[in-house]
Amino acid sequence: MTKPPTRIQQRNRAAILSAGLDVFSQYGFRGATLDQIAEAAGLSKPNLLYYFASKEAIHAALLERLLETWLDPLKALDGAGDPIAEIMGYAQRKLALSRDYPRESRLWANEILQGAPRIEDILRTDLKALVDKKAQIIKAWADDGRIADVDPHHLIFSIWALTQHYADFDVQVRAVLGDKAPYDGASVFLDALYEKLLQP
């Protein structure tokens, strides 16, 4: 039987994961170094490796944690709800995720950019299955004339693209916007966009 983690273990594992998230999300797996992560976590490198077996292990732990939270908002899209409100709600939830968890968004982006070597299987199976299921719901809404007839897959892609852009391209968005805060305007824009797009 596995022993319960001590307080020190909890604290240090959490510090490592947070530091790893910082570094991996900015530099990608290859570009990140254990020394960077160790420094960010306030630990020595051998001490890092006391808590995680390898660089891979830290990265894997982060990806696993990410997968859970990342797909949840889509899972919550409810076929029994009001179509337009459901889709707009999903977009807003995803936007909030970008605002509140930008590092996670960038970790995902980096992983996909590098060809998703570690999660391609999951994309092809779990993610595809989930998206296909929700796409069917959306298609049914369109067939019933409750929303406009748009390609459900590309509709979902559009929500991902539009919301993650604000996290992944944060520095560009802020450079262009100057002082203005991005997320309020983005939220308003998204609402208007999907309202008009989906009106039957």
Partner DNA sequence: CGTTGTTTTGACCAGTTGGTCAAATGCAAG
Partner DNA sequence: CTTGCATTTGACCAACTGGTCAAAACAACG
Here's the x/- map for a second copy, 92-111, by CB under 8 A: it reads as --------------x--xx-
CB-wise, 3 or 196, nearer to DNA?
3
**Please, are residues 94 and 160 in contact by the beta-carbon 8 Å criterion?**
yes
Angle at 69 between CA 98 and CA 140, to 5 degrees: 85
Here's the x/- map for DNA, 10-29, by CB under 7 A: it reads as --x-----------------
**Please, are residues 108 and 70 in contact by the beta-carbon 8 Å criterion?**
yes
59, 153, 181, 200: which one binds a second copy (CB under 8 A): 153
Here's the x/- map for a second copy, 171-190, by CB under 8 A: it reads as xxx-xxxx-x----xx-xx-
33-41, 97-105, 145-153, 162-170 -> range binding DNA (CB under 7 A): 33-41
Taking the complex as a whole, how short is the minimal distance between the CB of residue 23 and a second copy, in angstroms?
10
The CA-based diameter of the chain, rounded to the nearest angstrom, is 61
165 binds a second copy (CB under 8 A): yes
Rounded Cα–Cα distance for residues 61 and 51 (Å): 12
Per-residue b or e along 47-60, where b marks 16 or more CB atoms closer than 10 Å to that residue's CB:
ebbebbeebeebbe
56, 143, 184, 195: which one binds DNA (CB under 7 A): 56
Rounded Cα–Cα distance for residues 190 and 184 (Å): 10
